[in-house]
Amino acid sequence: MSQTHFGFQQVDESQKAQRVRGVFDSVASKYDVMNDLMSMGLHRAWKAYTVAVAHVRDGDRVLDIAGGTGDLARAFAKQVGTRGTVVHTDINEAMLRQGRDRALDEGLVLPTALCDAETLPFAAAEFDLVSVAFGLRNMTHKERALAEMNRVLRPGGRLLVLEFSKVAAPLEKAYDWYSFKVLPRIGQLVAGDADSYRYLAESIRMHPGQAELKAMMKTAGFGHVDVHNLSAGVVALHVGIKC
């Protein structure tokens, strides 16, 4: 049986999705408040930047993968108009339910699918734009997921991957201290769960950096990939064009 990483631990590949599910089942109800606290509100700016770069137009067909509580899906839904579609998807039912409730609170009813990014239940070339925010690093076979994202995009369509990345060297020490000392404590105090936030910090360190992810996207069929570093590389937005 092949091994993979779950944070800093080595686990059987077959166990990773289940362990990740445990993390998001545990944090779903506190996910949004924790996001604001941990990033000091910055996740809103990173997502707003992503939405601006996406430049979604009236009538576009958009797929949000690992959409969780739906920040991107809701923003895109306001831009595609009545002729367009935004499909909100995630592998975790608890996260999708939170997302559905938040969308309903804003008067939005979005088509929703509970699905694994590694085997998407959509036809080839069905979407103009695919987005995945802070989801890719949790996936067991990232290459498989990226290939699926490529398959469901039309030629010329774009994939936007917003994800934690490799921070600039002068900030590494401070970032490590914050990630490994402060984050789990906030997780314990607010969500009663230090372990899930320890996993968050570890999974960020195990995720490919800017150049490696760009290469993976090219291998998956994105002929052109741009990388936008945000907050000194704490986060990066990779934009791939299927061409």
Ligand X SMILES: C[S@@+](CC[C@H](N)C(=O)[O-])C[C@H]1O[C@@H](n2cnc3c(N)ncnc32)[C@H](O)[C@@H]1O
Least distance from ligand X to the Cβ atom of residue 124, Å: 19
Using DSSP bridges, classify how beta strands 3-6 and 127-133 pair: parallel, antiparallel or unpaired. Answer: unpaired
Distance CA(140)–CA(207), nearest Å, equals 11
Question: Virtual CA dihedral for 22, 67, 64, 215, nearest 10 degrees?
Answer: -60
Q: Which two tokens stand for residue 132?
A: 């995945």
Comparison of 7 and 67: residue with beta carbon closer to ligand X: 67
Binding residue for ligand X (CB under 6 A) from 60, 90, 128, 163? 90
Size of the site for ligand X (CB under 6 A): 20
Binding residue for ligand X (CB under 6 A) from 54, 63, 66, 234? 66
Name residues contacting ligand X, limited to 141-200 (CB under 6 A). Answer: none
CA torsion through residues 30, 233, 62, 106, sign = positive
Binding residue for ligand X (CB under 6 A) from 54, 62, 63, 95? 95
In 63-111, which residue ranges form alpha helices assigned H by DSSP? 71-80, 93-105
Using Cβ positions, the residue closest to ligand X within the complex turns out to be 68
Name residues contacting ligand X, limited to 109-138 (CB under 6 A). Answer: 116-118, 133-135, 138
Binding residue for ligand X (CB under 6 A) from 7, 61, 63, 71? 71
6 contacts ligand X (rule: CB under 6 A) = no
Binding residue for ligand X (CB under 6 A) from 50, 85, 92, 179? 92
Comparison of 138 and 165: residue with beta carbon closer to ligand X: 138
Q: 50-56: which pairs have CB atoms within 8 A and are 24 or more residues apart? A: 50/131, 50/133, 50/160, 50/162, 50/237, 51/75, 51/76, 51/79, 53/160, 53/228, 53/237, 53/239, 54/129, 54/131, 54/158, 54/160, 56/80, 56/84, 56/129
Comparison of 25 and 229: residue with beta carbon closer to ligand X: 25
Tally of CB atoms within 10 A around 142: 20
Comparison of 69 and 85: residue with beta carbon closer to ligand X: 69
Where do contacts with ligand X occur on this chain (CB under 6 A)? 20, 24, 65-69, 71, 90-92, 95, 116-118, 133-135, 138-139
